[in-house]
Amino acid sequence: MNERTRFAVETVDLGRTYRQGGQEVRALSHVNLRVEPRELVVLAGPSGSGKTTLLNLIGAIDRPSYGEVKIDGLELSSLDAGQRARVRREHIGFVFQAYNLLPVLSALENAELVLELQGLPRRECAERAERVLCAVGLGELLSRRPGALSGGQQQRVAVARAIASAKTLVLADEPTANLDSKSAEALLDLMLELNRERGLTFLFSSHDPRVIARAHRVIHLEDGQIVKDEVAA
């Protein structure tokens, strides 16, 4: 693919169906989406509209029932499990609603983990993870394990881990859902700074008007389909 036509994220006629109680459930239906490099895009819509399903497909966590997902021009369905894991590890930072922190590791160690898997030197892992944790207001809690942190603090560790390790793309499922107003604003400021300075592409799902207000584009989903794609005011 020509560099001029390569998108950070592209989906082509993407769909995902499930079997539930003997019935077929259409979580996503024929979704066509393009996200430019360095864009900050929000997926908006009610619960059950398909936002989380779409993020899981783009993040190579789930496989589509039909259609394609491309990350920086690389089509994911052609990859085996090991190659898909490598794409997640080396290119995508993912912030889950459930945080997915390892309970036996400290906040700093959780944020370092993916960096270590990427093969970065130990000192660089620690310095980068500490810098991002301080930026999200956790500089005094580096040694605490998840069980000793509030839900909002755990969310910030998860966000810091994703931002520290991502080289290309950050996907976030409701990243400000458990944060107070001050922490949410600080997190959004950090993400905008990284978007400008490191060229990271961000794709969020969110109901938060503060997130939507900072976005470059807002894509509205209903019943598993895109119903509106608009440039933010």
Average pLDDT, rounded, for the chain: 88
Q: What's the CA gap between 179 and 190, in Å, rounded? A: 14
pLDDT digits (tens, 9 = 90+) for 180-192: 888 788 778 888 8
- Give the CA distances from residue 29 to residues 6, 57, 65, 148, in Å, rounded to whole numbers and listed in that order: 23, 13, 10, 41
Q: Which residues of 1-11 are buried (b: 16+ CB within 10 A; e: fewer)?
A: eeeeeebbbbb
Q: What's the CA gap between 118 and 116, in Å, rounded? A: 5
Using DSSP's 3-state secondary structure scheme, residue 190 falls into helix
Domains located in the chain, CATH noted: 37-60+89-231 (3.40.50.300)
The pTM is what? 0.86
Q: What is the pLDDT of residue 40?
A: 94
pLDDT digits (tens, 9 = 90+) for 74-121: 899 888 888 888 888 888 888 877 778 999 999 999 999 888 888 888
* Ramachandran angles phi, psi of 12, nearest 5°: -125, 115
pLDDT digits (tens, 9 = 90+) for 146-191: 999 988 888 888 888 888 887 789 998 888 877 788 878 877 888 8
